[in-house]
Amino acid sequence: MIIDVIGGGSLGLLYGGKLAASGADVRIWCRSAKQAGEIKSKGIFIRNTFGAMEAQAKPGTFKVGILDEFAEAWRQNPGQWIFLMTKQKDVENACLMSVGRLAMDKLMPGNIPGMVCFQNGYGHMERLEKMLPGWPLYAAVTTEGAKRVAQNEVAHAGAGTTWFGIGRPSGGTEGPHPEKLEKMLQLAGFSAVLSNDIDSRIYRKLLINSVINPLTALWNIRNGELLASEQRMRVMRTLLNEALAVYDACGIPWEEDIWDQILEVCHSTAGNISSMLNDVQSGIPTEVDWINGSIVDLAEKSGIRAAAHELITGLIKGLTIREE
């Protein structure tokens, strides 16, 4: 079973590297030829929190290329699963350069690969469904913590769990042997779960990210530092309460203990830098439009306003000039 990993960011290197190191048949597709060349000649290194080597994908044990080459390589040797591991803002672009080209091929339903989409936030599954009608689209929610530290190296900041399942827009079309994919991921050392309730995981993660990510980014603090003062926790609560009112207005269910879950994530990832703070520190656009911006959109759709989420979206966008 061939797995094509689209994206050479932190998650792409983590999953691609660990899968290749476990002997899985993996092809990794990067945006830049420089990164592809670096990975091809040196392989992929995954280090744990103490800097020790957790896994190493040796050169020659997997394939690597640039996005532009994906469609032709796939036509010559079709793969069964695609992991879309780009950021939300790059979904369309990366897709147009790679997977989207296969959409014109009129593949027979049994030959269409399953695609697992690892984006944070909300909205990408609907957009992908328009680009890839009839494809088996799976959404993934992961609590793995990873940071790319070199073109071919990733620091595995915290082992988590990855749930994947058929996202709502896919209309229930199954990918090829999803249980086999689950096993392959487990064999590679991931705690992977094939879920039949992925939408509630997505909505729960959206709540968690919409509270932790913008505040850590705005205050330039690690996740655990959110718990350091009553005042910070009151701001967290304000964002959460507003998001819950939006969920109620949209008829989206939420769990009674969601506040405790958020506090638990702050504890268990206390030393981590959130992905949004990481983007701000790297001076690149954040995913705020698809996290807090999604709460604002959901609110608008149900005729209410999410003023706090609107405000925080604007404040975060002000932090990275290129987002203007």
Q: Which residues are at the interface with ligand KPL (CB under 6 A)?
A: 120, 208-209, 212-213, 223, 265, 269, 272, 274-275
Count of CB atoms situated within 10 Å of the CB of 12? 25
Please identify, using beta-carbon distances, which residue of 177 and 317 lies nearer to ligand KPL: 317
Please identify, using beta-carbon distances, which residue of 37 and 224 lies nearer to ligand KPL: 224
CA distance 110 to 55: 34
- Do 24 and 80 form a contact (C-beta atoms < 8 A)? no
Please identify, using beta-carbon distances, which residue of 72 and 257 lies nearer to ligand KPL: 257
Please identify, using beta-carbon distances, which residue of 29 and 118 lies nearer to ligand KPL: 118
Q: What residues does 161 pair with on adjacent strands?
A: 191
Please identify, using beta-carbon distances, which residue of 36 and 239 lies nearer to ligand KPL: 239
Question: Could you tell me the smallest distance in angstroms from the CB atom of residue 80 to ligand KPL?
Answer: 28
Please identify, using beta-carbon distances, which residue of 119 and 170 lies nearer to ligand KPL: 119
Please identify, using beta-carbon distances, which residue of 170 and 275 lies nearer to ligand KPL: 275
Question: Could you tell me the smallest distance in angstroms from the CB atom of residue 270 to ligand KPL?
Answer: 10
Question: Could you tell me the smallest distance in angstroms from the CB atom of residue 306 to ligand KPL?
Answer: 19
Question: Could you tell me the smallest distance in angstroms from the CB atom of residue 208 to ligand KPL?
Answer: 6
Question: Could you tell me the smallest distance in angstroms from the CB atom of residue 157 to ligand KPL?
Answer: 8
CA distance 219 to 237: 16
Question: Could you tell me the smallest distance in angstroms from the CB atom of residue 124 to ligand KPL?
Answer: 15
Counting Cβ atoms within 10 Å, is residue 76 exposed (0-12), middle (13-18) or buried (19+)? exposed
Q: Which long-range contacts (CB under 8 A, 24 or more apart) does 259-266 make?
A: 261/204, 261/208, 262/207, 262/208, 262/211, 262/212, 262/236, 263/227, 265/143, 265/208, 265/212, 265/223, 266/212, 266/223, 266/224, 266/226, 266/227
Question: Could you tell me the smallest distance in angstroms from the CB atom of residue 120 to ligand KPL?
Answer: 6
Please identify, using beta-carbon distances, which residue of 6 and 265 lies nearer to ligand KPL: 265
Question: Could you tell me the smallest distance in angstroms from the CB atom of residue 269 to ligand KPL?
Answer: 5
Half-sphere exposure of 77 (CA within 13 A, CB side): 10
